[in-house]
Amino acid sequence: MPMPNTAPFSRRHRRLPLVVALALALPLAHAEEPAPTHEHDAVDLDSVQVRASPLASTAEELTRPVEVLAGERLDASKANSLGETVSRLPGVQSSYFGPGVGRPIVRGFDGARVQVLNDGLGAGDVSTVSVDHAVSIEPFLANQVEVLKGPATLLYGSGAIGGAVNVVDGRIPEEATYTPLEGRAELRGGTVNDERTGMARLDGTSSDGHLVFHFDALHRETGDYDIPGHAESEDAHEAEPGHDEEGASGTLPNSALRTDAAALGVSWVGERGFVGLGYSLFNSRYGVPGHSHGEEDDHDHGHDDDAHEEEGPVSIVMDQRRGELRGGLQDVGPFASMRVKLARTEYTHTEYEGEEVGTVFDNDSTEARIELTHRPLLGWDGAIGLQWADRDFRAIGDEAFVPASATRDTGIFWIGRREAGPLKFEVGARHDRNRIDVDEARAIGPDRTFDATSLSASMRWNINPDLHLSIGLDHAQRTPVAEELYSNGLHVATGSVELGDPDLHEETANRAELGLHWHHGPFKLGASIYHVRYDDFIYLAETGVDDGGPVRAWTQDDARFNGAEAEASWAFAENASGRWDVRVFGDIVDAELTGSGTRDIDIAVPHGDHDHDYTVSLARSGNLPRIAPARLGGELRWERDAWRASLGAIRYAEQDDVAQGESPTPGYTLVDAHLAWHLDTAAGGAWEVFLDGSNLLDEEARVHTSFLKDLAPLPGRGVAFGVRAFF
């Protein structure tokens, strides 16, 4: 894949392999010093504190559904994208737009309905603008990843109406380290894509215990990945007239990836609190498989068609610089604690067509958040929060289908918690004001201002020490984002013409959920069912018009989401052969429009200095597009002394509940295996050598939620191997 030149950033990271090698050597350098046994992999995920909530709670204590990845389980789950990292959790899948792009899908919700957070603040990228835009958070550098399932609007605003994924990386230290210097490092390679990844992390504390620092760096490079068969699906190939050749097979062209990341943080830590600063860099270059202007149909959307025929594969270079200030203080007058977070992010994203610059996206954002935890008030523990965000977005280029805009968000919230015997209650409310000022010279509509109000109540009933039930009720609102309001032109990533609707208004969700959690001896079971009713659900509809590509229009109508998920585990043996346990899980979601009949909408497809006008009829009932398929998975795990291993499989069902203009996707089974050998050193550090296998059946797997499903299957059989060090 031809990659644009980004040498200045790369030169800054040429010494990363040396840094990693030195970090890997540290456990041996102190091998003679006695110290306690290293406990990196001994993490009870139910007891991990969830940082996304201002009320200090573990995953098991919260009345709302949440999943946490940390320790050994996070190490086994880490992938090139955040979406792939969390995709094996119940109710969570990935959007998948090639190996460099994967945004989390939570219970069928994605895009602007799932907020991606960096320890409580927005990522500052443009991953919601287009499905080919990557999340600017590196999962390999995370300490833990939290997935809040169901509306998280109380805490994080209307962009979290479907859920939130919070990545905790500890880049700004909040407490002193246990030893003067500690950290971890990893080197790995992979066969399916010639992966080479190295990362290192160091944390340290001054001799007086007050000054704490953090440093991390990562470099990843892969080639085009191997696939079991042809890149193009059989159905898509047969649907193309005059295409007799089979196309690419064995390897997916233009799927290479390169990522560099680094961060430095420093904090002053005292008895009552901390204050710290951090600065981070993130740079990624990746191909967009299946997209080349030379393969597009003729069109005239204000572009030079002849020039397009000479252009090559589409690739993206993204660069982000982020500065942060964080602080926390205990015992602040009437409040038990106060936390302050501030981030300034400068993001640039350039789309290349061959070696030529196509479109440049700039996104400068500032976000601030303050949380005040109050002392018990009328029996309620709680927290008051203020959140403010400012975003200036610009897209420059012939194919900039979204005009420049400035978005201002302000929110205020309160959440409270109370216990009464076996009952625990959580309630909350939030109000947001959102304003979008758009470039009037290019916009198809005026500036807009929205208000959104969210309410929530949940209860957990501890029936006995082993069993509890939970009930959750939510009323949440989401305001339209700029791309839904003002899109107007060819969207290269999806190969379609995308049209916004400047008259869209807030969508409203009402959710009810019933959950069960049972833990008795070696058995553990969790299950939930939920129903979400949407008024004026905003979605991208197939119009049936083809005008230089399929025309899709943002519109809204009533909808409903019904779903269920369950997970069970059984530690069935602990004897001379080792410790054995088995885990099974499953999830399903069904999403439909709930209206009746049809409705007509008028659309105008831009063509240079004029429009092509159409009136199209949209069904008010039927399935919503790109809804994640049902899954059933299982995993057998074994551990003995320094060894651990697992073998797992996930069956993705055929998705034939499809929307108008959408094709079904065959089911598939992914089989994975993991093997690791762990050695604790006398100095309290540890070494770990690992071998991972993915898609061991070498099955052709196409992701129904991806716009690329007919052009880019998942990677074929692969083996990853490497070494980790903890010190």
Length of the chain counted residue by residue = 727
Asked if pLDDT for residue 244 goes beyond 80, the answer is no
Helices (H) and strands (E) in the chain, counts: 8, 34
Higher local confidence (pLDDT), 247 or 97:
97
Asked if pLDDT for residue 578 goes beyond 60, the answer is yes
> Minimal CA–CA distance to 47: which of 519, 461, 561?
519
Rounded to 5 degrees, what are φ and ψ at 295? -100, 0
The residue behind tokens 């008028």 is 602
Higher local confidence (pLDDT), 105 or 56:
105
Mean pLDDT score, 363-386: 95
Confidence of residue 299 (pLDDT cuts 50, 70, 90): very low
Distance CA 716, CA 78 (A): 18
User: What is the share, in percent, of the chain residues with pLDDT greater than 70?
Assistant: 89
The residue behind tokens 């080349």 is 292
Distance CA 2, CA 656 (A): 37
The pLDDT, as a whole number, for residue 253 is: 95
At 395, which amino acid appears? A
Structure tokens at 327: 């602080």
> Minimal CA–CA distance to 623: which of 596, 589, 658?
658
Asked if pLDDT for residue 48 goes beyond 80, the answer is no
Asked if pLDDT for residue 296 goes beyond 80, the answer is no
Distance CA 39, CA 255 (A): 37
Identify the top-confidence range among 203-207, 233-237, 354-358, 437-441.
203-207
The pLDDT, as a whole number, for residue 250 is: 93
Q: At a CB cut-off of 8 Å and minimum separation 6, what does 175 contact?
A: 212, 269, 274
Confidence of residue 49 (pLDDT cuts 50, 70, 90): confident
The pLDDT, as a whole number, for residue 241 is: 63
The pLDDT, as a whole number, for residue 233 is: 87
Distance CA 287, CA 528 (A): 38
The pLDDT, as a whole number, for residue 43 is: 58
The residue behind tokens 């961060």 is 263
Asked if pLDDT for residue 3 goes beyond 80, the answer is no
The pLDDT, as a whole number, for residue 47 is: 67
Strand partners, 412: 386, 431
Structure tokens at 567: 């997970």
> Minimal CA–CA distance to 582: which of 663, 636, 633?
636
pLDDT tens digit string along 637-687? 999 999 999 999 999 999 999 998 889 999 999 999 999 999 998 888 899
The pLDDT, as a whole number, for residue 683 is: 81
Residue pair 382/417 in contact (Cβ under 8 Å)? The answer is yes
Task: Specify the 3-state DSSP secondary structure of 192.
Answer: coil
> Within its chain, how far is the Cα of 562 from the centroid?
22
How distant, in Å, are the alpha carbons of 211, 300, 375, 401, 605 from that of 496? 53, 13, 54, 11, 11
Higher local confidence (pLDDT), 41 or 389:
389
Q: DSSP letters of 533-565? A: EEEEEEEEEEEEEESSSEEEEEEEEEEEEEEEE
Architecture of domain 7-247+272-726: Beta Barrel (2.40)
The pLDDT, as a whole number, for residue 1 is: 45
Confidence of residue 549 (pLDDT cuts 50, 70, 90): confident
Higher local confidence (pLDDT), 470 or 34:
470
pLDDT tens digit string along 688-705? 999 999 999 999 999 999
The pLDDT, as a whole number, for residue 313 is: 86
Residue pair 187/722 in contact (Cβ under 8 Å)? The answer is yes
Helix (H) or strand (E) holding 571: strand 550-575
Which pTM was predicted?
A: 0.90
Asked if pLDDT for residue 8 goes beyond 50, the answer is no
The pLDDT, as a whole number, for residue 309 is: 46
The pLDDT, as a whole number, for residue 303 is: 45
Helix (H) or strand (E) holding 381: strand 380-397
Higher local confidence (pLDDT), 611 or 41:
611
pLDDT tens digit string along 251-291? 999 999 999 999 999 999 999 999 999 999 999 999 999 76
Residue pair 475/510 in contact (Cβ under 8 Å)? The answer is yes
Identify the top-confidence range among 241-250, 396-405, 541-550.
541-550
Cα dihedral 715/717/720/721 (nearest 10): -170
Asked if pLDDT for residue 117 goes beyond 70, the answer is yes
Distance CA 598, CA 347 (A): 42
Q: At a CB cut-off of 8 Å and minimum separation 6, what does 607 contact?
A: 300, 301, 302, 547, 548
Compute the mean pLDDT over every residue in the chain, rounded to the nearest whole number: 89
Confidence of residue 236 (pLDDT cuts 50, 70, 90): confident
The residue behind tokens 């559904």 is 65
The pLDDT, as a whole number, for residue 32 is: 40
Asked if pLDDT for residue 580 goes beyond 90, the answer is yes
Residue pair 601/572 in contact (Cβ under 8 Å)? The answer is no
Task: Specify the 3-state DSSP secondary structure of 408.
Answer: strand
Asked if pLDDT for residue 417 goes beyond 80, the answer is yes
Side-by-side strand order, sheet with 163-168: 66-70, 144-149, 163-168, 114-118, 121-122
Asked if pLDDT for residue 152 goes beyond 80, the answer is yes
Residue spans per domain, the chain = 7-247+272-726
The pLDDT, as a whole number, for residue 46 is: 66
Asked if pLDDT for residue 453 goes beyond 60, the answer is yes
Strand partners, 394: 362
Confidence of residue 230 (pLDDT cuts 50, 70, 90): very high
Residue pair 276/174 in contact (Cβ under 8 Å)? The answer is yes
> Minimal CA–CA distance to 509: which of 456, 571, 458?
456
